[in-house]
A and B are shown apart, each in its own frame.
Chain A
Amino acid sequence: EPEVTQTPSHQVTQMGQEVILRCVPISNHLYFYWYRQILGQKVEFLVSFYNNEISEKSEIFDDQFSVERPDGSNFTLKIRSTKLEDSAMYFCASSDRTSGVGTQYFGPGTRLLVL
């Protein structure tokens, strides 16, 4: 069964460093998402991406964040200058549409720790 994959599974970085989190969405999906979950809290939407551009973003997704689909398979989240409060689990998700069911299938997550 097709699945969303994410790399790395864990990343430790120093405050102020740039990190790139990578995702390979399900191959025939057109909509891509990033969410984050701070430890012990609920999952929060960051950004959605369709047709090579951001279609929706939350107030969390400020200028420190960017997303890119550099080729036909990868979808990346870059955090330019990490802060302590960026420590969280980051989930990538994809869906084939946003009407009807349009289920978002999540990857296993990248656990980011900023020191």
Chain B
Amino acid sequence: AQKITQTQPGMFVQEKEAVTLDCTYDTSDQSYGLFWYKQPSSGEMIFLIYQGSYDEQNATEGRYSLNFQKARKSANLVISASQLGDSAMYFCAMRERMGAQKLVFGQGTRLTINP
């Protein structure tokens, strides 16, 4: 079974609009962490934002925020006021069990920002 599901293979958004990238996860652990990474066409993986399972507030980091709905096991990334430079692949990842080491990634969503 997929641990991380990203159901949107591609998204097209007009510049300056907000965009939500979906991520659902599957775990039986109570303690886990959720991460979003951006991969531009150059290939590197850039950390964007983190949400811990016990965090009561949704994480925010500049224009990025995470809409964390624990009961629904979803951790959607919201990018406000999108910019052309936001065009990239976006990966949701989970680290199960605090103390575990591997990240499990979703298939990614390719976001294209149109001028």
Chain A residues near B (Cβ < 8 Å): 31, 33, 35, 41-45, 48, 50, 55-56, 58, 89, 91, 93, 98-109, 111
Q: In whole Å, how far is B18's beta carbon from the nearest beta carbon of chain A? A: 25
When the two chains form their complex, are residues B33 and A102 in contact, meaning their CB atoms are under 8 A apart? yes
Most B Cβ at <10 Å: residue of A35, A42, A93, A100:
A42
Chain A residues with CB under 8 Å of B108's CB are 42
Contact among A43, A45, A50, A98 with B45 in the assembled complex (CB-CB below 8 Å): A43
Q: Is the interface of A mostly helix, strand, loop or mixed?
A: strand
With both beta carbons as reference points, the residue of chain B lying nearest to A58 in the complex is identified as B102
Cross-interface CB contact of B101 among A42, A55, A91, cutoff 8 Å: A55
A57 to chain B, nearest CB (A): 9
Are B98 and A99 in contact, with the CB atoms below 8 A?
yes
Is the pair A45, B100 in contact by a Cβ cutoff of 8 Å?
no
- Using Cβ atoms and an 8 Å threshold, which residues of chain A touch B100? 56, 98
C-alpha spacing A37/B52, complex, angstroms: 25
Out of A44, A98, A108, name the residue touching B98 (CB < 8 Å). A98
What would 18 A/B residue contacts be, using CB atoms closer than 8 Å? A31-B101, A43-B91, A45-B102, A58-B102, A89-B43, A93-B45, A101-B50, A101-B52, A102-B95, A103-B47, A104-B35, A106-B37, A106-B46, A106-B47, A107-B44, A108-B42, A108-B43, A108-B44
Does residue B103 face the partner (Cβ distance < 8 Å to A)? yes
Which residue of B43, B93, B106 contacts A109 across the interface (Cβ within 8 Å)? B43
Which residues of B8-54 have CB atoms within 8 Å of chain A's CB atoms?
A: 33, 35, 37, 42-47, 50, 52
- A100–B108 CA distance with the chains assembled, in angstroms: 24
Identify which of B35, B44, B100 gathers the most chain A CB atoms within 10 Å of its CB: B44
Chain A residues with CB under 8 Å of B50's CB are 101, 103
Residues in B whose Cβ lies below 8 Å from that of A98: 95, 98-101
Judge whether B88 is part of the interface by a CB distance below 8 angstroms. no
Whether B107 sits at the interface, judged by CB under 8 Å, is: yes
Asked whether, in the complex, the Cβ of A45 is within 8 Å of the Cβ of B47, the reply is no
Q: A98-B98, A102-B33, A103-B50 are in contact. Are A45 and B103 (CB under 8 A)?
A: yes
* A106 in contact with B44 (CB, 8 Å): yes
